[in-house]
Amino acid sequence: MSSQLPATAPANASSAPSARSTPTVPPKPRNHVRTAFIAAAFVAFTVLACTPGIGGVDIDLGAFVQHWRNGWNKFVQLLQPNFAFLPRTVGPMLETLQMAIVGAFAAALVSVPLTLWAAKPTNPSWPVRTFVRTVINVIRSIPDLVYASILVVMVGTGALPGVLTLFLFDIGIIVKLVSEAIDSSEHGYMEAGRAAGGSQLQINRLTALPQVMPLFANQWLYVLELNVRISAILGLVGAGGIGRLIEERRSFFRYDDVSAIILEILVVVIIIEVISNLLRRRLV
């Protein structure tokens, strides 16, 4: 579509003045071949993804007709949360919050140098930059629960593998988002610092860091929220927190307790969101 524009635009511009009363409307830029190609690729990928023979998803709508009652019973139970269970959740919830805070704090500490190493304006040496970015990408591409299940074997069950999982997960997010923001932002201050003869370290500390501090703070608060959500599932593999309780109540088929815990997580996440929004408004 865009490749046609330069060719048609001047032609229309020259023909427009000749039509006095009604201005000619330029032809709508259309590219049927491209649209058809995209649609075909989309359909092909979807069909392949739904072909069980080659490992795709077997869309089995018949199961709904047959077994909908099984799920419905659980769902009805979920809709009747047992709030009497809440006092027992206080301890694990506290542990979840502690894990979230410690994980986010440790990640915040480590993320600052890593981010400055991963961004182009703050680290002109490309081998180091590429190395740090690759490590971060590898860290990011392993899902949180996979970390947790492997770390549980490595260091034993409890809060420690949970905190380590959150730490790794948070670093991936913070470094990626903030270093990309540094890359794409204006570097006027940093250029001024360089023009004044500052070393890279001085430039980073005195110009780059103050400029990106609000971004960092933003991401730190964001991963804190994420951590509370994630630690709800870390317990499934034995990595501590409220998830362990969810897993326990679920294995007893006490879905009323499970939904009370889920509602509690919802409330805690909302409270953290409100607090971090207040802090954010302060910072930005």
Partner 1 sequence: MSAPTTTARQPAAHTATPEAPARPSRGRQTIITVIVGAIILAAASGLRIDWTDLGRVPAQVVHYLQLMFGPPNWEKLPRALEETWRSISMAWVGAIICVVISIPLGMLAAHGIGPAWLRFVLRGLFAVIRAVPEVIIALLLLAVTGLTPFTGALALGIAGIGTQGKWVYETIESVQDGSAEAVRAAGGSTAEVARWALWPAAKASLLSFALYRFEINIRTSAVLGLIGAGGIGSMLSNYTNYRQWDTVGMLLIVVVLATMLMDTISGAIRRRIMEGAKPRGMERSS
Please give the residues from 221 up to 250 whose contact with partner 1 meets the rule CB under 8 A.
Answer: 229, 232-233, 236-237, 243, 246, 250
Smallest distance from the beta carbon of 59 to partner 1, in angstroms?
A: 6
Q: In a 3-state reduction of DSSP, which class is residue 4?
A: coil
Using the rule CB under 8 A, is 271 a contact of partner 1? no
Using the rule CB under 8 A, is 177 a contact of partner 1? no
Question: Smaller CB distance to partner 1: residue 160 or 205?
Answer: 160
One residue of 16, 59, 84, 90 binding partner 1 per CB under 8 A? 59
Q: What contacts 70, CB < 8 A, 6 or more positions away?
A: none
Using the rule CB under 8 A, is 126 a contact of partner 1? no
Smallest distance from the beta carbon of 140 to partner 1, in angstroms?
A: 8
Contacts with partner 1 in 189-228 (CB under 8 A)?
A: none
One residue of 164, 173, 223, 272 binding partner 1 per CB under 8 A? 164
**Nearest-angstrom CA–CA distance, 280 and 72:** 41
3 state SS for 155-224: HCCCHHHHHHHHHHHHHHHHHHHHHHHHHHCCCHHHHHHHHCCCCHHHHHHHHHHHHHHHHHHHHHHHHH
One residue of 36, 40, 128, 266 binding partner 1 per CB under 8 A? 266
What phi and psi values does residue 145 have, to the nearest 5 degrees?
-70, -25
Using the rule CB under 8 A, is 13 a contact of partner 1? yes
Tokens found for residue 24: 């000619």
Smallest distance from the beta carbon of 245 to partner 1, in angstroms?
A: 13
Question: Smaller CB distance to partner 1: residue 215 or 242?
Answer: 242
The candidate with the shortest Cα–Cα distance to 164, out of 83, 230, 257, is 230
CA distances from 130 to 4, 114, 232 (A): 37, 12, 34
Question: Smaller CB distance to partner 1: residue 39 or 201?
Answer: 39
Tokens found for residue 248: 């326990």
The candidate with the shortest Cα–Cα distance to 120, out of 133, 107, 139, 138, is 133
One residue of 142, 181, 206, 209 binding partner 1 per CB under 8 A? 142
Using the rule CB under 8 A, is 138 a contact of partner 1? yes
Contacts with partner 1 in 95-124 (CB under 8 A)?
A: 95, 97-99, 101-102, 105
Using the rule CB under 8 A, is 55 a contact of partner 1? yes
